[in-house]
């Protein structure tokens, strides 16, 4: 397994508020229009799953497998070209501010790692940036 981490993002909202919004994927409706259509298409979701198409990778489905209230949300792929896990960690800074980091753990061989490392890291960073801009 290879681990990739986003940089730490400071969010001007409390930890509990951020967790509550991100732990129910139905809340993605409010940010759906901010996702670049040239990168992600056919996005659909319910409370626990998120499905989307990423060019040229194809369809990916993520499902929440664990919620640790106010601290962490863990996802795994149920449909993906390669198995991966994603987790969102949320740490309090103050009553009205928290920090967030995204981590991906993907099962790939060393040859594939060289090919996908930069696009995966860039995508993870863009996803963290987008989550940091949400009005929680």
pLDDT for res 108: 85
Right CATH for 2-133 from 3.30.530.20, 3.40.50.2000, 3.30.1370.100, 3.40.50.300: 3.30.530.20
Per-residue pLDDT at 39:
67
* pLDDT value of position 116: 82
The predicted pLDDT at position 37 comes to: 67
Average pLDDT, the chain: 89
Please, which pLDDT band fits residue 28 given cuts at 50, 70 and 90? confident
SS3 assignment, position 118? helix
Is residue 11 within 8 Å of residue 136, measured between CB atoms?
yes
| Residue ranges covered by each domain of the chain | 2-133
How much is the pTM?
Answer: 0.88
Average pLDDT (4-28) is 95
Instruction: Identify the CA nearest to 45 among candidates 66, 34, 60, 65.
Output: 60
Q: Report pLDDT digits (tens) over 49-102.
A: 998 887 767 888 999 999 999 999 999 999 887 889 999 999 999 999 999 999
Q: Collapsing DSSP states into helix, strand and coil, what is residue 61?
A: strand
Q: How far apart are CA 102 and CA 6, in angstroms?
A: 5
Q: What spatial distance separates the first Cα and last Cα of the chain, rounded to whole Å?
A: 33
Tokens of 35: 């996702």
Look up tokens 């990739």; give the residue: 4
Q: Where does residue 115 rank: exposed (0-12), middle (13-18), buried (19+ CB within 10 A)?
A: exposed
């Amino acid at each position: 397994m290879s681990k990739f981490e986003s940089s730490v993002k400071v969010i001007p909202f409390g930890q509990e508020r951020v967790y509550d919004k991100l732990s129910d994927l139905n809340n993605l409706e409010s940010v759906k229009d901010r996702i670049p259509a040239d990168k992600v298409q056919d996005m659909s979701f319910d409370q626990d799953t998120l499905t989307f198409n990423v060019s040229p990778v194809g369809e990916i489905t993520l499902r929440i497998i664990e919620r640790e209230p106010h601290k962490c949300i863990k996802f795994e792929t149920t449909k993906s070209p390669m198995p991966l896990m994603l987790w969102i960690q949320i740490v309090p800074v103050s009553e009205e501010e928290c920090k967030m980091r995204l981590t991906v753990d993907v099962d790939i061989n060393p040859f594939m790692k060289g090919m996908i490392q930069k696009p995966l890291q860039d995508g993870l960073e863009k996803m963290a940036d987008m989550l940091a801009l949400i009005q929680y």
